[in-house]
Structure 1
Amino acid sequence: MAQANIIDTKLRLVFETGLDQKGKPIHKSKTYSSVKQSATADQLFTVGQAVASLSNYPLVALNRNDSFDIVG
């Protein structure tokens, strides 16, 4: 049976930086690597909010990206 072993966790913050010519929002993201794999959603949310408060742009999304090795 195959197993998934977590190898990396990243936190991605997505900001709205303005509007395009059609009035649609423009999003830019910043990714932070080497996040503790044991971090909870609440912990990541708190850190993301704190980091976003240093930006001039509003935060529109926080994403947790986990990478796995699949072994048989």
Structure 2
Amino acid sequence: MAQANIIDTKLRLVFETGLDEQGKPIHKSKTYSSLKQSATPDQLYAVGQAVATLSNYPLAALNRNDSFDIVG
């Protein structure tokens, strides 16, 4: 049976930096790599909120991205 082994966890902060000609939001992101794989959603949310306070732009989204190796 195949197994998935987590190899990397990243936190992506998405900021709204303005509006385009049609009035749609423009987003820019910053990704932080090599996070603890055991980090809980609450911990990542707290870190994301703290880092976002250092930006001039409002935080639009926080994303957790996990990468896995699939082995047989």
| TM-score bucket of the superposed structures, by smaller chain | over 0.9
CA–CA separation in structure 1 for the residues paired with 2:29 and 2:55: 12
1:56 matched to 2:56: yes
Q: Which residue is equivalent to 1:21?
A: 21
Q: Which residue is equivalent to 2:8?
A: 8
Task: Report runs of 4+ in structure 1 exceeding 6 Å deviation.
Answer: none
CA–CA separation in structure 2 for the residues paired with 1:45 and 1:7: 21
Residue segments in structure 1 that go unaligned for 5+ positions in a row: none
AA at the equivalent of 1:30: K
TM-score (norm 2): 0.99
Count residues in correspondence.
Answer: 72
Give the aligned CA root-mean-square deviation in angstroms. Answer: 0.3
- SS of 2:22 mapped into structure 1: coil
Q: String of CA shifts for 1:6-65, please: whole Å, max 9, x gaps.
A: 000000000000000000000000000000000000000000000000000000100000
Percent of aligned positions with the same letter in both sequences? 89
Residue segments in structure 2 that go unaligned for 5+ positions in a row: none
